[in-house]
Each structure stands twice: as C-alpha cells, then as structure tokens.
Amino acid sequence: MLRRRGGGGDGTSSAYKMREKMLSIGDDFWIETGAGQRAFFVDGKALRVRETLEIKDPQGTVLLKLKAKLVTIRDVMTIERGDETVATVKKALISPLRDRFTVEFKDGSEWKVQGNIVNHEYEIDGPGGPIARVSKAWFRIRDTYGVDVAPNNDDAMVLAVAIVVDQMSHDVGR
C-alpha cells in the first residue's frame, strides 16, 4: 500500500491530494487524484446552524454529508449518505501519546484513526487491516498532504473521515 498511484478499481491503491487546514465554514475545494485530476468536490455550507460539508462527485451529485454535533462532551461528527447517518467519528477523550479517533459505522464495524494527526502523519485501520495512510511526506507543496486509500475501500468514505479528522483537529472554535 501507499506507493502505487492507481485508481482503486483495479485492485491498486488510490492516492488523493488534500489541502491542510482546508476547512472553514463556506470553504469549497477540490480533492484531486495523485495525477492531478479532480475527483471529489467539497462544498462547505455557509450560514448553517451547525457545520455542514458535502462531498460531491465531479458532476455535482452529493455522495456524503459531514455534520458536526452541536453540544457534546467530546468532538463528534456524523457522516450521512442520503438522509441516513452511516458513520459517527469521535475524538478520544484522553490520548497521552498519540491522537486517536474512532469511526463507528451503522453496521457495527469500527475504524481506528491514530498517529500524529496535527502533522498529517497517521493511519486508518479497520477490522481487516489498513484502510488508508495519510502523510505530508509525499508532497513538497506547502499545506498539502496525501491520502492513500487501500484497494477495495469506499474512497469517498475514507476521504470523508480524513476531512472530519482534519476539521476536528484544527478547528480552533471547538
């Protein structure tokens, strides 16, 4: 994983380029493939009661919605597909050595996100092994990091998790 730059559908990993600290209410941006092609559009919805972001395909179809919970003891965001919550991302209350997040899916499965979140050097692991790796090491461009998604995963969901983790880690208003 993490060295090939394929499209994911043929059993190879998929690499995406993300902007660091990209999210604030009202911000819109493209997520590009490792080859520089526009793969997903992130629409930051302004003037909403709570933070809402939409991940769209290049044609504008909404694939996932990311929403922040209004009042919680710890940071929590949900990921919706259609009108249904499919995943909940929670930040660990106490994590002395590494930043940690848990992604709980509606079907009962769980992903673990841990590593140096603030510096964009972390892994996403599921019950079957590695899901993705996030790293700034692949880019010399300032404020850019990569997300390398292991084969046979839902790329949009993995990128949604990376966006939520970035939002929860860098949002000073929280």
- Mean local confidence (pLDDT), 110-123: 90
Instruction: Work out the percent of the chain whose per-residue pLDDT is above 70.
Output: 74
- Residue 118 in tokens: 């603030």
- Bridge partners for 144 per DSSP: 19
- Mean local confidence (pLDDT), 50-55: 82
Q: How high is the mean pLDDT of the chain?
A: 81
pLDDT of 49 > 60? The answer is no
Domains observed in the chain: 14-170 (2.40.160.200)
Q: CA angle at residue 131 from 33 to 55, to 5 degrees?
A: 50
